Structures are given as C-alpha cells and as structure tokens.
Amino acid sequence: MLLVCLIWGTNFSVIKSAFPLMPPLAFTAVRFVISSALLWGLLRWREGPVVLPRGKRAALVALGILGNTLYQVAFTVGLAHTEATNSSLIISAVPTVVLAFGALLGIERPSGRMYAGVALATAGVALVVTAKGVAFERETLYGDFLSVLAMLCWAGYTLGVRRYLRGVSPLAVTALTTITGTPGLVLVGAPQVLRLDWHALTGAVWMALAYSSVLSLVVAYFIWNSSIQRVGSSRTAIYMCVTPLFAAASAWVILG
C-alpha cells in the first residue's frame, strides 16, 4: 500500500504535466483503453475464461462506472483546474469518509484505535500540506469541487468492493471494473481525442500515458483491491493519508 501511495502521489504531477499537449478527457480515455486491454489479457492469462458468481455482474458494472467513469472524469478535470497539492489533500479525505460510512452501513466495525488513527492521520496530512500552502481560491474553486466529488466516488467504490465483490479475485475485480468503466470515459473523451494533434505529442506525454496506464491503473488498482479484500476498506483507505506527502514532493520536483 505504501507503493500505491508513491505511485498515486506521483501520478498527480505526471498527469498534470501532460495536459498542455493532451487535454484531460482525451488523456483519460486513452489511458483507460490501454489499461483495459492490458488487464483483460492479464486476466485471461492468469485465470482463463472469466466466470462471474451469480449476482455479481450488476455490482461490477455499477462499481466500474462509479470508481472509474465518474471518479476519473471528476478527478482528471478537477486536477486540470486546481493545484496538484489541493487535489491530493481533498482526495486524502477518503479514509474519513470510508470509516464513517462503513460503520454507518454496517460494512465494517471500526475499533476506537481505528477512529483515532484516521483522525491523527488526517490531521497530520492537513498540517504537513498546509504548511507549504494550499490555494483554495476562486480560481481553483471549480477544480476543488470536482475533487470533492471524485473523493466521494472513490470512497463509494472502496466500500462497494468490500461489500458486494467478496468471492471475486482481486485481479478480476480490477480488470472488470476498469473495463466496464472505460466506455463512458471513451464517450466523454471522444471529442477531445478526435481534435487531438497526435504528431505534436512529445516523448514525455507518451511516458506519462505509460506511467498512468500501467502503474497507476493496472498495478496500483490491483494492490488496492487486494488490500480491501484482505484487511478491509478502512485499513486500506487510511493509507491515502500518505499520498499527499508523495504528491507534494513530486509536484515540487516535476512541476516546480
């Protein structure tokens, strides 16, 4: 999970660095097509023909739309309209939301130590990141609002995987929710993709696509879903508090 935090923390700046040459929705559509193809091939290679347990198909489709289509549109467009540090700080509220709603809906029974841990971690994130300075201003308000929507979508996805997809392998959860979330992203991103000047894309943009497709989606999503099934949604989500530290550091190095 610390590897996931490193991958996702760096991903904020990697994605943002590609936006001047590749618009946000086009970038997201292309990276999900690449990731879906990789995950489908990996799933067939590792598990053969996919046979889903009864009653899981609707959940997979719904969670694919929530955790990929809606989350990625809100996250990517939000990131394009706010600071990378702002976005990462908002997304780091996922553990608090997962803990609260997980307890409210009876998905998990958090202990007092877990509540204390989430509170301490969230306060620590706020202390470290705001020391650098967070610009919640009129210019970033739209992006900040979309980042909040993205955070809620990801929290819902995390709880949904824990509640509805028990018995489905982490690789199948990762592959099938990514694939079911991709058509919506392609549809939304199609206008930007069609207007894109592919010859103007630099090697750095293609490297950003490769990073975001292979590491951020395939590797990190697989680890995330594995962790949810092994230790629960609250214990997995608390690691999101570490992500802004990597995000702020990488934003300083990559974006200045």
Q: Do 161 and 233 touch, CB atoms closer than 8 A?
A: yes
Q: Do 39 and 178 touch, CB atoms closer than 8 A?
A: yes
Q: State residue 146's pLDDT score.
A: 93
pLDDT in tens, 170-209: 999 999 999 999 999 999 999 999 999 999 999 999 999 9
Q: Is pLDDT above 80 for 249?
A: yes
Q: State residue 150's pLDDT score.
A: 94
Alpha helices by DSSP H, 196-219: 203-210
- How far is it, in rounded angstroms, from Cα 90 to Cα 151? 7
- Please, what is the average pLDDT of the chain? 89
pLDDT in tens, 81-127: 888 777 878 888 888 889 889 888 888 888 888 888 888 887 877 77
**What residues contact 107, with CB distance under 8 A and at least 6 apart?**
101, 159, 162, 163, 233
The mean pLDDT value for 232-252 works out to: 87
Using a pLDDT cut of 90, give the percent of the chain over it: 55
Query: Rounded to two decimals, what is the model's pTM?
Result: 0.86
Q: Which residue has the tokens 């998905």?
A: 107
**What residues contact 139, with CB distance under 8 A and at least 6 apart?**
none
The mean pLDDT value for 28-32 works out to: 95
The mean pLDDT value for 32-39 works out to: 96
The mean pLDDT value for 57-73 works out to: 94
Q: State residue 127's pLDDT score.
A: 76
Q: Do 81 and 142 touch, CB atoms closer than 8 A?
A: yes
The mean pLDDT value for 238-256 works out to: 85
